[in-house]
Amino acid sequence: MKLRDLLRIANRNLLRNKLRTFLTIMAIFVGAFTLVMTNALGDGMKDYVENQVKNREGANILFVRKKFETPNSGRKADEPIEYKEKTQDEAGNVVDPNSYSLDITQMESLKKDLPEIKTITPRFDIDGEYITLDGIKKYKLNLGMLSEGIKQKVEVGSTITGTGEIIIPLALGKTFSPDIKTLIGKDVTIAYEVGQSGEIKMMQLKIAGVATKGFMANGNCFVDADSAKRIYEDQHRNSDGFNKFWNFTFQLDTSNDKRIGEIKRKLDEKGFSAETFADQEKRTYDAIGILQIGLNFFAFIALLAASFGIINTLIVAVMERTKEIGLQKALGMGSEKIFLLFTLESILIGFWGAIVGVIGGIIVGTFANILTTAYLSSFEGYSLFSFRLFSIVWVILLVCVIAFLAGVLPAFKASRLNPIEALRYE
Amino acid sequence: MLEAVNLYRTFTSDGVDYEVLKNVNLKINQGECVAIIGKSGSGKSTLMHLLACLDTPTLGRIMFEEQDVSILSEKERNLLRNEKFGFVFQQFFLNGRETVLENVLFPLRIRGMSQYKMIRAGMDALEAVDLKAKEDKKAKDLSGGEKQRVCIARALVGIPKVIFADEPTGNLDSNTGELIEKMLFDLNREKGITLIIVTHDSDLAKKCNRIIELKDGEIIKDKIKKGKKFEEAQKVDELTKTDSGQTSETSITS
Ligand SMILES: Nc1ncnc2c1ncn2[C@@H]1O[C@H](COP(=O)(O)OP(=O)(O)OP(=O)(O)O)[C@@H](O)[C@H]1O
Ligand SMILES: [Mg+2]
């Protein structure tokens, strides 16, 4: 028997009792719809994170800090932490094992064992006052730094390549000049406070680029590491913990995953935690993934309930069609064809339920996106629901598989019918 | 062509065995028109189902074209029924929502025949039962007699060697019944299709050229028409007891 014929017969059988088929499909629809929406919600978040995170890159970059003593390393969360005596290293620096802050010389000494490290940049904590292009009109300045080796995506110009450079956000760039291209290479003046004194210091920087919108780059200006260092020293020279840092950025001479893995392992042995951009991304993705699995779980329950609907519908159909099945078998239709016919019917129910669910999901999701844009304006480029082809195909396939599984029992029952008993069936 | 050798069929219900067929031996030749008669419950349908490979005997063998069908696989038996046998039942078993033509084509769809050949065969079969004009009608809209004619067309469409008819006129009035009978006999005469009819109707039986009467699962009469009279057929029991009867016994013990 040809598959096309079986499909046609399966379709006709479903149309026999339209209301019953419709109701069964509706049950599947609810499950499929939920699954589409929960997936789209997760994908929306992933899209957002992707856009934001991909704004910066650097395959040879490691973010390093001292490992925290985590509660799961054998200590209960509320247990008091034991004090460890301070020591001195070979260079005569005081090493405080109780603190998470480290000075640059301590970090530089890592290079001895790890020659792959090209540069080490501490994360300088800097504060800006204002920025001005023409010296007259001033804008409030949120200042950050771009560690050596990290590339910032730009609309025009380039990422920072030398010292005395700055990258400005797109909105600021457009305020400076409608044609942002003309800004590249121009000098801007930034102002920052020195210490707690209130004294203002200026610095001239060259605009290297105008940043593409993204998580960090939406409101911040970024300067190169050297300029950041100068500002940091001006601002913190007299404060406690001067030149002690929690976070460092390592630029490596390799972007080979295996070698980076090796370096991470060595750093781990020395008591450091090291993450690449990919690790950071993965961490966020994993969090979203877990959320998505949690949400999908509820959709699954809806689908499970719906699959009992399929089982029920088909078992009733087997009973109704006992004589017909008997005749089909008498005329030489094999058990496997009967089995196939019933599973095709259940897959068709699943398929149509999934299709309606997908269409419904996309309609509802698109409306929801339009309605929520106003509320989500602070998250630029974030839409609540994102419909990825992959997720949609995945949902349809999954629902079809679940429907198939639901169809197995009735199909098996039908295929096992004895033709003469089926023909005698009252 | 079709042979039953030491056939037994036992049904078990509620733990009790019912011997519905006991030591049935019979040999049907190509082109014969056989009526199986007997009281209700005598095992006529059971015998027909066994001969038609719809059921398997508890003991004994069915031979079709010198081939022991009990050793065939499920698939081969399906193929045999589909290609060599046609069926007409007392209840029509038509799919009312499908068209007349589609009902007739069903055995060929199972066979996986090409659309063009299938439709030609279907139209030929409908022509033979004089229903060509109603090919597009839904089967449920036909009269009882027309429905049975569709069934005959369906039995005929695959050009079978044997048509099994279980009380084909049981649900019809006598005039319509006679029309159906005539059609079946015509097929037997003109196309040489072997006809095996299970019936209560002694008038119908007398029109066949062989009558097999069952009583309590045993053949009590087997008469063949010679001219206008029926004569006792050669006892198959005696014929087979010497050879196949013993071989089947030895094959069980070995
Ligand atoms: N599947 C079965 N299970 C149990 N008993 C059965 C089964 N099929 C037939 N029988 C029994 O076998 C006996 C013969 O049945 P069969 O249908 O062959 O009779 P029949 O001669 O065709 O009768 P009728 O003229 O009423 O159709 C009956 O007593 C019936 O109850
Ligand atoms: Mg009967």
Distance CA B128, CA B122 (A): 10
Among A66-75, A137-146, A389-398, the range scoring the smallest mean pLDDT is A66-75
- pLDDT tens digits, residue range A225-264? 999 999 999 888 888 778 888 899 999 888 888 999 999 9
Using a 6 Å cutoff on CB, does residue B46 contact ligand 1?
Answer: yes
3-state helix, strand, coil in chain A (%, to 5): 50, 20, 30
Residue B248, domain member (yes or no): no
Whether the CB-CB separation of A245 and A122 falls below 8 Å is answered with yes
Mark whether A301 and A414 lie in a shared domain: yes
**Token pair of A80 as six digits:** 């008091």
Query: If you take atom 10 of ligand 1, which residue's CA is the nearest one?
Result: B11
Would you say residue A70 has pLDDT above 70?
A: no
Domain boundary among A244, A268, A293: A244
- pLDDT tens digits, residue range B104-136? 999 999 999 999 999 999 999 999 999 999 999
- pLDDT tens digits, residue range A4-50? 999 999 999 999 999 999 999 999 999 999 999 999 998 888 888 77
- pLDDT tens digits, residue range B150-171? 999 999 999 999 999 999 988 8
State the average pLDDT for chain B: 88
Distance CA A144, CA A222 (A): 5
Distance CA A4, CA A12 (A): 12
Minimal Cβ distance to B109: which of A1, A16, A334: A1
pTM of the shown model = 0.78
3-state helix, strand, coil in chain B (%, to 5): 45, 30, 30
Tell me the ipTM for this assembly. Answer: 0.88
Using a 6 Å cutoff on CB, does residue B199 contact ligand 1?
Answer: no
Distance CA A166, CA A221 (A): 7
Other beta carbons less than 10 A from residue A112's beta carbon: 8
What pLDDT is stored for residue B234 in this prediction?
Answer: 64
Which range marks the domain in which residue A240 is found?
124-244
Q: Which of B129, B127, B192 is nearest to B163 (CA)?
A: B192
Return the half-sphere exposure (C-beta side, CA atoms, 13 A cut-off) of residue B60.
Answer: 25
What one-character-per-residue DSSP string does A203-237 give?
Answer: EEEEEEEEEPS-TTTTT-EEEEHHHHHHHHHHHHT
- pLDDT tens digits, residue range B36-76? 999 999 999 999 999 999 999 999 999 999 899 988 999 99
Cα(A417) to centroid(ligand 1), Å: 18
Looking at residues A130-149, what average pLDDT do you find? 89
| CB pair distance less than 8 Å for A1 and B89 | no
Would you say residue A54 has pLDDT above 80?
A: no
Domain boundary among A244, A267, A294: A244
Q: How many independent structural domains does chain A possess? A: 2
Residue A160, domain member (yes or no): yes
Residue B150, domain member (yes or no): yes
Torsion angle (degrees, nearest 10) of CA B203, B207, B208, B209: 130
Residue B54, domain member (yes or no): yes
| CB pair distance less than 8 Å for B55 and A1 | no
Q: How many independent structural domains does chain B possess? A: 1
Backbone φ and ψ of B193, nearest 5°: -75, 130
Mark whether A224 and A137 lie in a shared domain: yes
More confident residue, A408 or A421: A408
B87 part of contact set with chain A, CB < 8 Å: yes
User: Which ranges of A270-372 does DSSP label H, i.e. alpha helix?
Assistant: 277-320, 322-330, 335-372
Q: Tokens 């088929």, residue?
A: A21
Measured between CA atoms, the residue of chain B closest to residue A2 is: B112
Residue A15, domain member (yes or no): yes
Residue B247, domain member (yes or no): no
Residue B254, domain member (yes or no): no
Query: If you take atom 17 of ligand 1, which residue's CA is the nearest one?
Result: B45
What pLDDT is stored for residue B250 in this prediction?
Answer: 38
Using a 6 Å cutoff on CB, does residue B192 contact ligand 1?
Answer: no
Torsion angle (degrees, nearest 10) of CA A322, A324, A328, A331: 110
Question: What kind and span of H or E run contains B230?
Answer: strand B229-232
Q: Which of A220, A256, A216, A14 is nearest to A126 (CA)?
A: A220
Using a 6 Å cutoff on CB, does residue B197 contact ligand 1?
Answer: no
d(CA A316, nearest CA chain B) in Å: 18
Q: Which of residues 328-367 of A touch B (CB under 8 A)?
A: 328-335, 337
Measured between CA atoms, the residue of chain B closest to residue A326 is: B93
Q: Which of residues 6-35 of A touch B (CB under 8 A)?
A: 12, 16
- pLDDT tens digits, residue range B191-250? 999 999 999 888 899 999 999 999 999 999 888 887 777 777 766 555 444 444 444 443
Using a 6 Å cutoff on CB, does residue B43 contact ligand 1?
Answer: yes
Distance CA A218, CA A221 (A): 9
**CATH, residue B198:** 3.40.50.300
Mark whether A307 and A417 lie in a shared domain: yes
Would you say residue B77 has pLDDT above 60?
A: yes
Q: How would you label B79-106 residue by residue, b for 16+ Cβ within 10 Å and e otherwise? A: bbbbebbbbbbbebbbbeebbbbbbbbb
